[in-house]
Amino acid sequence: MIRNSLFSFLCLLVLAGCTPKVSPFQKFLQANSSKSFDVLIDNGQVVDGTGKAGYTADILVRGDSIAFIGEVDENLVQVAKTIDAKGKVVTPGFIDTHAHGNPTGKRGFMNFLAMGATTITLGNDGDSPSQDLESWLQRVGATGSEVNMATFVGHGSIRMASGIKYDSLPTQAQLEKMGQLLREQLDLGAIGLSTGLEYLPGLYAPAYEMEYLAKVVGEKGKFITSHVRNEDDNAVEASLEELLMQGQHCPVHVSHIKVVYGQGKERAEQILQQLERARQQGIRVTADVYPYTASFTGISILFPEWALPPHDFGQVVAARRKELATYLRNRVLKRNGPEATLLGSGPFAGKTLAQLAQEKQKPFEDVLIEDIKPGGASAAYFVMDQELQARFITDPSTMICSDGGPDMRHPRGYGSFPLIIEEYVVKQKLLTLPQAIRKMTSLPAQTMGLTDRGEIAIGKKADILVFAPEKVKATATYENPFQLAEGFDTILVNGKVSKMQGQFLGVKNGEMVQRN
């Protein structure tokens, strides 16, 4: 009787021109032979990475990819694991466009995972992760990693391997050798070329060398990411212009954009306008930035070029000791004094140059010459203006990076992404959450060419975070830089759970990725 009544009711609906409404989820199931899924993220506020406002939805994951987004009827599917996301946001995993470290090191890459970075790029600043990239890729592929990894070819590395080394006038034959090395490593899967023109041996590279390599990069459909030649206030525009010239041949990217000694947001505006003018002229240029006012690099950045390899430091000291001491004193004082240099490696790690000079009871320039020397340490340098750097961070064209690593004595390797949410979104409200998430997901994905990641969208890789923004905390400090970030409750990497309800599962779900 009930069946007949239902049949009659359906007939009446058809006669009336009505048919039972089929939901998007039912249409999805009709198109799928299997009703089994690996993960259901239930009832979260999806902030999809594009910058659009969030919306409430469920997410189904099958294998390593997002299969469905919308309202899911759990009675119609079989799910291996359900994650309750009610009251929390669901976002793509963050993409760190400038990172450092060894995935097989003692700490692994837990620092990146803890701060929500599910994909990182290595081989930055002109330094490839290995001279033998093919063997390195095989080794890392076999051992795995907590996060996905992409790598650049380091300009400095292939300069050394080609035999050019510290020569400032490479021959055509030498350029061709370097170009061949670059082609081979790009073909192995590197996503582009990285340069560190403020460092050895990149500082010796002339403009014609960089133009030659830019053409090779363009031919291969890749891009250049650059620590530009000089980030100082009086030289940064010229250094950016050098990169933009390379941008005539391939897309270019400014690593950790900054203005050393610069002051105020107006100074940042001038740099942003320089990049925008280049875009209007057809140059494809992007930039990333980290949310700290101290940089971190080798102590050799304080020394003059004539005291660095290939020059013999001992001979330089013997012949030009007074001149070197004067240079170092002026250089350090210009960089906000010895108190603003915090040693981060070597036997004096954790002390400022001023503290060390006091302990040694001698001028800080003598400490640099006698006790540290070029290559003897790395350090954090407090040389940036907060207002200026904040303007870079909030500009829609820039993305977020860490420029950090698991063993680097700088909080940026453990706190960059959570600090953006904690300070810029929750506390200061300088960015909306969708704006901040875009800077850490879809924008870097598009820039790096990792177009199957960076968004919550059907078919994209399921690198996913579930968290409450107000609980995200960057706990790392300059005094204690190795403290893991808090607040990213649940993390998926390639569709597999790496952290569940605050607990790390100790798994390595990352893989090597390439530019699409």
The pLDDT value given to residue 20: 62
Q: In angstroms, rounded to a whole number, what is the distance separating the alpha carbons of residues 167 and 289? A: 31
Neighbours of 386 (CB within 10 A): 10
Residue 1 reports pLDDT greater than 50 = no
Which residues does residue 493 pair with via DSSP β-bridges, in sequence order?
496
Q: Yes or no: say if 388 and 269 are a contact pair by the CB < 8 Å rule.
A: no
pLDDT tens-digit profile of 389-446?
A: 999 999 999 999 999 999 999 999 999 999 999 999 999 999 999 999 999 999 999 9
pLDDT attached to residue 235: 97
List Cβ neighbours of 509 (8 Å cut-off, separation of 6 or more): 144, 146, 492, 493, 494, 496, 498
Q: What percent of the chain clears pLDDT 90, i.e. is strictly above it?
A: 91
Look up residue 302 and give its DSSP letter. Answer: G
At 98-128, the pLDDT tens digits run 999 999 888 999 999 999 999 999 999 999 9
**In sequence order, which ranges of 205-363 are alpha helices (DSSP H)?**
207-219, 236-246, 265-280, 313-334, 353-360
| Coil, helix or strand at residue 58 | strand
pLDDT of residue 141: 84
DSSP-based three-state secondary structure for 239: helix
DSSP state of 313: H
What's the pLDDT score for residue 51?
98
Dihedral sign (CA 106, 378, 414, 132): negative
Q: What is this structure's pTM?
A: 0.93
The separation between CA 2 and the C-alpha centre of its own chain, rounded to angstroms, equals: 62
Torsion over CA: 277, 280, 284, 290 (sign) = positive
- Please report which confidence band the pLDDT of residue 6 belongs to, taking 50, 70 and 90 as the band edges: very low
For each of the domains in the chain, give its residue range(s) and CATH number, in order of start. Answer: 94-296+397-444 (3.20.20.140), 302-382 (no CATH)
Q: What tens digit of pLDDT does each residue of 305-337 get?
A: 999 999 999 999 999 999 999 999 999 999 999
Task: Please give the Cα distance from 451 to 456 (Å, whole number).
Answer: 12
> Residue 207 corresponds to which tokens in the numbers above?
């403009």
Count CA within 13 A, CB hemisphere, residue 204.
Answer: 18
Please measure the distance between the N-terminal and C-terminal CA atoms of the chain and give it in whole angstroms. 60
Question: pLDDT tens digit string along 446-455?
Answer: 999 999 999 9
